[in-house]
Structure 1
């Protein structure tokens, strides 16, 4: 996965250098302070960061899922350990949702920067929005069984209050672990889907930039050809 990220990121950087054209004196890396190239390089950094964050969050949720399943099968699991697992799950869920929104924003920004991109990228932005909505609905569905809402666990103090109340009885503790396990199962699926969407986004951005670079190169070649013809006529 990391090799793929580096390979795709390098491809975009090389495209950026090609789009920038010949190096100019007094500029950093020969980019000439190009706003477009800066945007591309920022895009590279964001894509690389989010790809790593998606994988890390998915692994974090899987670890919490194992802990909660152990709590469900072992009645001697300390309640404090279950509470810590549920708090870790809450943090992972919030992080996953934040990444989803970040990728949505990145997709919208890319569409705004490259007007022709929206015509060839399909409905990736809609897919990200749908992912965000589905994730929230899935979490709410699991919480409903325990009489809780997403808003209640979005607040750390609210979640602690709920866990404190549920911890007063063995039945409440078991229900909390069951709800957490259900959420972790949903989140593992959702993070896997987000990873697929992020990979599709990376591919779509690369494909567009490659085509855009080819078009600009062809335009430069045509302009150079016209200039050379005119220069030849003048010197004759």
Structure 2
């Protein structure tokens, strides 16, 4: 139960205990979690659909869980690659007419987390789009600058500061940190963890989780 507003915490606690607290607790059997085996080769599947007018493509890699040390470098990498009109993918794919849209991001999971890149384009452009995305990833260790990393970090921090101006968002963030991440530290130290990311951390994540790993890929195309 999350309560936001001008309330007296002790009164709210008493009310909750008198209402929901009267419910008898029941034991819940703990689910047996079996991790997926390591993916050793690339996977590809094409899906044809008569309803489509353009191609939709998504490619993903397994990455670290949310809130571990490497995770903050992944967020900075995402900001650089595919987050908004200043990102590399937008400039190289959308502005140059290869794709209609492009984005990237992870699922923010505490386990089995995935980082994905997605795009929409004309079906005939598939190979061209994929090759350009892969080229950008391969060339990033040579092209990325400290200034780009700093700008990406500041955009993430600015976005979080703006979002937390709303009390509802802050309450959600606290709840998410405790229930999904399992640590309130994710909420408390997010900004400082982002500020600590360096260019070599970003490139290490790129190499460790993307360039050296297998991926899964799905292409949806119109059925003619």
TM-score band, normalised by shorter chain: under 0.3
TM-score (norm 1): 0.22
Greater percentage in strand: 2
Larger radius of gyration: 1
Give the TM-score normalised by structure 2: 0.23
Which one has the bigger helix percentage? 1
